[in-house]
Amino acid sequence: MPGSPYLEERPPGLLTWPMLMPILLGIFLTECVVGIWIWNSFPEWRIIVYIILGIDLVTLVVIYIMTMRTKGENLE
């Protein structure tokens, strides 16, 4: 592909956005499970669960928007 930073194939160990999304989604779902546990076990900490999940959700949305925006652009 012209202009591609990869010569023939992706270098080993390189994480690109499409590979990072499943990892980030896994972290988000793990935090959801832990948040539910905290929600039920420590009701006085519910505001902390809201804050953490809100930050994670905003981060996932921003990363998704960034990957979709750059996918259609010619980056020359």
Structure confidence by residue, pLDDT tens digits, 27-75: 888 888 888 898 899 989 989 888 888 888 888 788 778 767 765 555 5
Structure tokens of 39?
């929600």
- Model confidence at 22, in pLDDT bands (50, 70, 90)? confident
Structure tokens of 68?
């979709």
Q: Where are the domains of the chain?
A: 17-70
- Amino acid letter, 63: I
> Minimal CA–CA distance to 35: which of 51, 22, 20, 24?
51
What is the pLDDT, as a whole number, of residue 40? 92
What is the pLDDT, as a whole number, of residue 14? 55
